[in-house]
Chain A
Amino acid sequence: EAGVVQSPRYKIIEKKQPVAFWCNPISGHNTLYWYLQNLGQGPELLIRYENEEAVDDSQLPKDRFSAERLKGVDSTLKIQPAELGDSAVYLCASSLGLAAQETQYFGPGTRLLVL
């Protein structure tokens, strides 16, 4: 069974440019998460989807970040415009549901460098 797929794996852009990350969750997983992981830190939740509905986007900086999960499968996270401080790893994860006991499966992440 394929795991969580993310692309691109690496991205280098100049500040003020837009950037987008794509995530394909494990087949059948209704819940999808986007996390931000700064260097030397644990992941922090940006947004959580239950099917196509964003059930928690309280930590998403909405002035520059946006996300969508059309048809409740793939998801895209966008930053426009990017700032130097956005350099980090962006992780996508998925789980069968929102229940606390559901294991979250993580993708390999997209490492973003903003110059």
Chain B
Amino acid sequence: AQTVTQSQPEMSVQEAETVTLSCTYDTSENNYYLFWYKQPPSRQMILVIRQEAYKQQNATENRFSVNFQKAAKSFSLKISDSQLGDTAMYFCAFGGSGGSNYKLTFGKGTLLTVNP
């Protein structure tokens, strides 16, 4: 079974600065997907960024980028130019190769607070 570990329960950053959230995972699969989801205080979870394991290039979405290290099974999220609206719980999630056995496995989350 896959496991996802987020070792930072809470983090804080000053507005406009950069912060990196850590995630490691364990799997025996070779093809898979990794996700970062954001859950603001209103609790609607939204996708921030996605990485396909067979792609070596790190995914980037505006101020959000990942550092994907497949051999180390590491998938960190970097948020540049942090904004107050980035305050939220961030969940790292692992998605297998698909099909009837497909499901997302989430980490426990990191609470990020952006301070003015």
Residues of A whose CB lies within 8 Å of any CB of B are 3, 40-45, 48, 55-56, 89, 91, 93, 98-101, 103-109, 111
Query: For B44, B99, B107, which residue has the most chain A Cβ atoms within 10 angstroms?
Result: B44
B10 to chain A, nearest CB (A): 11
A106 and B45 contact, CB distance less than 8 A: yes
Q: How far is the CA of A93 from the CA of B47 in the complex (A)?
A: 12
Given contacts A91-B45, A108-B44, contact A100 B32 (CB under 8 A): yes
A56 and B109 contact, CB distance less than 8 A: no
Q: How far is the CA of A92 from the CA of B45 in the complex (A)?
A: 10
Residues of B within 8 A of A93 (CB): 45
Given contacts A100-B96, A100-B98, contact A45 B45 (CB under 8 A): no
B44 and A99 contact, CB distance less than 8 A: no
A98 and B102 contact, CB distance less than 8 A: yes
Residues of A within 8 A of B4 (CB): 42
B32 to chain A, nearest CB (A): 7
Given contacts A101-B33, A103-B47, A106-B45, contact A42 B96 (CB under 8 A): no
Interface string of B96-109 (1 = CB under 8 A from A): 11111111101111
Given contacts A45-B103, A45-B104, contact A99 B98 (CB under 8 A): yes
B25 to chain A, nearest CB (A): 12
A106 and B107 contact, CB distance less than 8 A: no
